[in-house]
């Protein structure tokens, strides 16, 4: 069964979140495939209006973080949307743990800002913030899931060695590893993807539109244009290069976190959910073109 039809079947059994494509996690929950991020362009900015627009457009998955500096405005949008808490999928991420505080203290503060009683997913944002104590921090995160303050728990920007460090003493395998993932980091990411798959850890992607947003004119452009033309003809509507990149992620069962303040762009993201899937040859063509160069925008220490 293709990833597309797998996702469609999953969505029919996941109405408690929203009528959207979802992907299963190793703890038995589901994560909506499309997420709206409050970092990058919204970093340290008031995100309320942008998030309200995303929710009104049909986005359920809201990706925040303590380090983004805008959990308050994300919380205001959650309340202002009028949506039932159960219809939204709220994510935040652990930054550093201030002296004299615990991981729990930081999440309780986040919950107050977000104006919710729990988050659907709580991630350790970066292993660099907890060097030498990752295993202990992960045990604290496990306790938060047991307490019910986070339904699912995971990590972000973790390498294989970081995952191995926490798994050695873990009672819970991370449900997610959120990383920068697009065709221009495909080759470098392959060992991590294979390791995550072996441990049943779902990779989720941020920065998925990097090849066209930050490095236009690269080896992937002509491939994306050709595929966009084919999908446009099949779908009977105009499909652009960004949607093709999202279809590439969808073909791999990798949730996509995207950000935009424009309603039209958000609806464009959502429209990708119902577009025809890429063929195996098209996925391979993107893989081959993307592997001809390497561009990482975030967490560049991962290439050291």
Among 20, 90, 79, 25, smallest CA distance to 52 is for 79
Among 101, 35, 22, 18, smallest CA distance to 74 is for 35
Three-state DSSP at 24 gives strand
184 is catalytic: no
The two beta strands, 34-37 and 256-258, are parallel
Catalytic residue among 68, 181, 184, 206: 68
Three-state DSSP at 123 gives strand
Q: Residue positions in the annotated binding site for substrate?
A: 125
Q: Residues with Cβ < 8 Å from 213, sequence gap 6 or more?
A: 242
Q: Do 228 and 244 contact (CB within 8 A), yes or no? A: yes
Inter-axis angle of helices 263-271 and 241-251, to 10 degrees?
40
Catalytic residues: 68
């Amino acid at each position: 069964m293709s990833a597309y039809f797998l996702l469609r079947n999953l969505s029919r059994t996941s109405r408690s979140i929203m009528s959207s494509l979802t992907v299963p996690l190793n703890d038995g929950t589901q994560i909506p495939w499309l997420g709206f991020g409050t970092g990058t362009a919204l970093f340290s900015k008031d995100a309320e209006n942008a998030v309200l627009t995303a929710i009104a457009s049909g986005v359920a998955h809201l990706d925040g973080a303590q380090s983004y500096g805008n959990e308050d405005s994300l919380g205001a949008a959650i309340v202002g949307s009028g949506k039932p808490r159960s219809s939204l999928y709220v994510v935040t991420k652990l930054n550093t743990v201030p002296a004299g505080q615990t991981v729990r203290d930081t999440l309780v503060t986040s919950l107050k800002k977000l104006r919710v009683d729990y988050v659907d997913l709580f991630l350790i944002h970066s292993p660099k913030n907890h060097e030498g104590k990752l295993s202990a921090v992960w045990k604290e995160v496990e306790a938060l899931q047991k307490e019910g303050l986070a339904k699912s728990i995971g990590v972000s920007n973790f390498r294989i060695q970081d995952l191995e460090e926490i798994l050695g003493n873990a009672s819970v395998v991370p449900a997610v590893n959120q990383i920068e993932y697009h065709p221009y980091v495909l080759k470098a990411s392959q060992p991590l993807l294979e390791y995550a798959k072996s441990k049943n850890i779902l990779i989720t992607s941020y920065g998925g539109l990097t090849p066209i947003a930050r490095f236009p004119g690269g080896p992937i452009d002509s491939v994306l244009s050709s595929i966009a033309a084919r999908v446009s003809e099949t779908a009977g509507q105009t499909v652009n290069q960004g949607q093709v990149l999202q279809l590439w992620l969808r073909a791999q069962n990798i949730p996509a976190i995207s950000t935009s303040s424009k309603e039209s762009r958000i609806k464009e993201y959502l429209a990708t959910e119902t577009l025809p899937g890429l063929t195996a040859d098209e996925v391979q063509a993107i893989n081959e073109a993307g592997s001809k160069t390497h561009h990482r925008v975030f967490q560049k220490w991962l290439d050291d």
